[in-house]
């Protein structure tokens, strides 16, 4: 009798322990103890005929890393007064550029250069107009402490993130790290940026045989890829991911007259490496998504594509560092045809503009995965 009661007592006791354990576990949402690091690798789209996406061995891209990078990219927590995020100057609907000549940072401070669109960045060997940055994680460290951009010490930024309700667990899921560092912030943002791939412009669809463009497209393409317009020699059509010469990367496209290399208002690459030969030179920009990225050039000097085309049409302005082939071709035209500039007719300019716009991708700017995440 006593034995049987005892047995029941033990069962009851065990039952209580079992339920208490159950209650403790169900109350511990995502606690430290049951965390398992298991990132989901991201599958990149592979547009036909493109070079394979250059992945960063030091920063494998995962869905968890992308989600974190996306949240950080749109979050003003990374600016001193909580008003500016990366997306303030890199707006998804503008192909991640903005529509002002130069961008406003905290306290309405104006920067010196035009915001650059963020498209197919993995295929870029160098970043910034003056190519001063080599990798995406290296670049992402720069805007936060920069005074005319986000103006926040990294130590404060990481402290804010560490105290946030959501970020610490997101960092653990992405990197298996409990301590948030600026390097991890930069890596997460870089992972999100790697996914910003644009490959559905009319031009891409034409290359894939999916559309039959208008005659104006073919007339514009002909100007672009021949001596008539001479655009191809820097904006390389074969480098389809960027339409920018992947070997030379930067040059001086003859927009400014200067008798001395130090006369350029912005010394560009030469200011970074100290070489006179590189003063007044800038990164050859992508020609993708021009429909969304006005104004144009490193200083946003041109409001429209008509202005850009008119400037090239006049021929290169002379300076000690102007692209040599541009000058050779302009002098050749002058000697043989009597005009230094391209001498495009109104129709030809319109065709060239039509072709340039065919490299724009509306599905990219409307992609819901690239917008501010819904909290």
CA distances from 34 to 17, 22, 37 (A): 19, 14, 10
- Contact residue for ligand HEC among 61, 94, 255, 365 (CB under 6 A): 255
With contact defined as beta carbons under 8 Å apart, do 152 and 84 qualify? no
Task: Work out whether 103 is an interface residue with ligand HEC (CB under 6 A).
Answer: yes
> Hey, which residues does 97 pair with through a beta bridge?
91
**Token reading at 80:** 């001193």
d(CA 191, CA 63): 9
Binding mask 304-333 for ligand HEC (x = CB under 6 A): ----xx--x----------x--x-------
Task: Work out whether 65 is an interface residue with ligand HEC (CB under 6 A).
Answer: no
Residue list 177-196, contact with ligand HEC (CB under 6 A):
189
**Token reading at 320:** 């000690």
Of 124 and 202, nearer to ligand HEC (C-beta) is 124
At CA 274, angle to CA 122 and CA 98, rounded to 5? 40
With contact defined as beta carbons under 8 Å apart, do 300 and 288 qualify? no
Task: Work out whether 68 is an interface residue with ligand HEC (CB under 6 A).
Answer: no
Give least dist CB 164 to ligand HEC, A: 17
- Contact residue for ligand HEC among 120, 201, 251, 321 (CB under 6 A): 251
d(CA 331, CA 339): 9
Task: Work out whether 128 is an interface residue with ligand HEC (CB under 6 A).
Answer: yes
- CB neighbours (10 Å) of residue 72? 24
Task: Work out whether 113 is an interface residue with ligand HEC (CB under 6 A).
Answer: yes
Residue list 272-291, contact with ligand HEC (CB under 6 A):
282, 284-285, 287, 290
Closest CA to 288 of 223, 239, 251, 346: 239
Task: Work out whether 94 is an interface residue with ligand HEC (CB under 6 A).
Answer: no
d(CA 218, CA 221): 5
Task: Work out whether 229 is an interface residue with ligand HEC (CB under 6 A).
Answer: yes
Query: Which position has the token pair 């979050």?
Result: 75
Task: Work out whether 370 is an interface residue with ligand HEC (CB under 6 A).
Answer: no
- Contact residue for ligand HEC among 167, 292, 296, 364 (CB under 6 A): 296
Stretch near ligand HEC under the rule CB under 6 A, chosen from 17-25, 135-143, 161-169, 333-341: 135-143
Query: Which position has the token pair 């960045």?
Result: 121
d(CA 125, CA 131): 9
Residues near ligand HEC (CB under 6 A) are: 84, 86, 88-90, 103, 105, 111, 113, 115-116, 118, 121, 124, 127-130, 139-140, 143-144, 149-150, 189, 229-231, 233-235, 251, 253, 255, 282, 284-285, 287, 290, 293, 296-298, 308-309, 312, 323, 326, 352, 356
């Amino acid at each position: 009798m006593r034995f049987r009661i005892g047995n029941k007592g033990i069962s009851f006791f065990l039952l209580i322990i079992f339920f208490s354990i159950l209650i403790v576990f169900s109350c511990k949402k995502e606690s430290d103890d049951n965390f398992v690091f298991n990132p989901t690798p991201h599958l990149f789209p592979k547009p036909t005929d493109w070079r394979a996406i250059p992945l960063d061995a030091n920063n494998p891209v995962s869905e968890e890393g992308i989600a974190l990078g996306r949240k950080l990219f749109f979050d003003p927590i990374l600016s001193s007064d909580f008003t500016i995020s990366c997306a303030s100057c890199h707006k998804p609907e503008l192909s991640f550029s903005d529509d002002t000549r130069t961008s406003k940072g905290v306290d309405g401070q104006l920067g010196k250069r035009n915001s650059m669109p963020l498209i197919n960045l993995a295929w870029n060997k160098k970043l910034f107009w003056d190519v001063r940055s080599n990798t995406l994680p290296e670049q992402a460290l720069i805007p936060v402490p920069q005074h005319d951009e986000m103006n926040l010490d990294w130590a404060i930024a990481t402290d804010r993130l560490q105290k946030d309700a959501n970020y610490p667990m997101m960092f653990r899921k992405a990197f298996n790290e409990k301590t948030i560092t600026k390097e991890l912030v930069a890596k997460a943002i870089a992972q999100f940026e790697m996914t910003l791939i644009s490959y559905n412009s009319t031009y891409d669809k034409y290359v894939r045989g999916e559309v039959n463009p208008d005659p104006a497209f073919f007339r514009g393409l002909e100007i672009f890829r021949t001596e008539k317009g001479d655009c191809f020699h820097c904006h390389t059509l074969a480098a389809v991911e960027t339409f920018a010469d992947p070997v030379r990367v930067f040059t001086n496209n003859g927009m400014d007259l200067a008798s001395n290399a130090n006369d350029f208002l912005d010394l560009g690459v030469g200011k970074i490496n100290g070489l006179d030969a590189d003063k007044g030179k800038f990164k050859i920009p992508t020609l993708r998504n021009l429909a969304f990225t006005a104004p144009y050039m490193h200083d946003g000097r041109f409001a429209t594509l008509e202005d850009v085309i008119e400037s090239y049409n006049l021929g290169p302005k002379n300076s000690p560092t102007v692209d040599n082939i541009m000058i050779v071709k302009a002098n050749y035209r002058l000697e043989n045809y009597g005009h230094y500039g391209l001498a495009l007719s109104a129709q030809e300019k319109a065709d060239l503009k039509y072709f340039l716009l065919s490299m724009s991708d509306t599905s990219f700017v409307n992609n819901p995965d690239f917008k501010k995440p819904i909290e």
